[in-house]
Amino acid sequence: MEKTTKTGILLANLGTPDAPTASAVKAFLAEFLHDHRVVDLTRFIWCPVLHGIILPIRSPKVAKLYQSVWMEEGSPLMVYSKRQQRALHEASGLPVELGMTYGNPSIESAITALKEQGCEKVLVLPLYPQYSATTTAAVFDQVARVAKKSPVLPEFRFVNHYYEQDKYINALAVSVEKHWAEHGRGDVLLCSFHGIPKRYADNGDPYPKHCFATTEALKVRLGLEDHQIKTSFQSRFGREEWLQPYTDKTLEKMPSEGIKRLDIISPAFSVDCLETLEEIDGECRETFLEAGGEVFHFIPCLNDSSEHIDLMSDLVESNTRHW
């Protein structure tokens, strides 16, 4: 009788500090901002700036922001990721482990846990619908680092992106439609994606193309006109040009253009986190209302919604079928 090879799933996301404290945030940011995928400056220039200026100044400030969104069970990103892990395991019947590119639990610990459960094949599912070297490729780098240290490896398969998947667009659309059913429809639906330096896109990163394609597909699915849905990019850092239009600048202009009621969604984030709960639902809300906006509605991320888990299950099934 042919042996059945056990398959496991590695759900990968960016990561989060272990606690909302300055020391924990500093440790997390140090690992995150040391990655060449995230900041590609020469270390001779970058390291003194990072350790001498950025980490000492930003860590206490970012810790306070985390404190404002921290949940009873922990960091929102980790809380929702664990819920996704449990739901996907129940839906697929396969072993599912969480691995974060930075922080805990690590990619290495997730792979080790899957191997200990007898998994000889591992599907790596980075929870980034739109591919970027700064996110998706960074997961691949971590898997490769683990591979270098291990004499025996499972067979790996990677999900590169899934922004074009019907079930992903449907999950986004259902979340918007449910929100509209409860709160009414705003003048515009703004899709705010995490930004990257424009230079990265100029060098070939397809991320902005994937983002604009996501908005277009969502527009068609919801039956909206061009003027009813827009794309912007948030979370820029430093002085160089990032992908535009910028979310904050867009929000500042909208009220003067007659847009008083706004719905905003963050399609690039698979779970709510600091960038959605504090930046979008906090800072961006304030920016829009201070500029003359009247109603600001943040539509939560897909998190562990049934439509999102259905998408994940479909990605697992389609990528492991006949494997």
Nearest C-alpha neighbor of 235 from the set 203, 302, 282, 179: 282
Q: Is the peptide bond before 129 cis (omega within 30 degrees of 0)?
A: no
Binding residues for Fe(2+): 194, 275
- CA dist 251 and 245 (Å) reads 10
Both structure tokens of 243: 């992908």
- CB proximity list for 189: less than 8 A, separation 6 or greater: 176, 218, 222, 224, 228, 229, 230, 263, 264, 265
Q: Is the peptide bond before 255 cis (omega within 30 degrees of 0)?
A: no
DSSP per-residue letters across 122-179: EEEEES-SS--TTTHHHHHHHHHHHHHH-SS--EEEE----TT-HHHHHHHHHHHHHH
- CA dist 66 and 60 (Å) reads 10
Report the chain's terminal Cα–Cα distance, integer Å: 18
Coil, strand or helix: which one is 321?
Answer: coil
Rg of the chain over Cα atoms, rounded to whole angstroms, equals 20
Whether the CA torsion 80, 81, 84, 90 is positive or negative: it is negative
Both structure tokens of 54: 């950025």
Which DSSP category does 36 fall into? T
Q: Answer for the pair 102, 31: CB distance below 8 angstroms, yes or no.
A: yes
Question: How far does CA 109 lie from the centroid of its chain?
Answer: 20
Binding residues: 194, 275
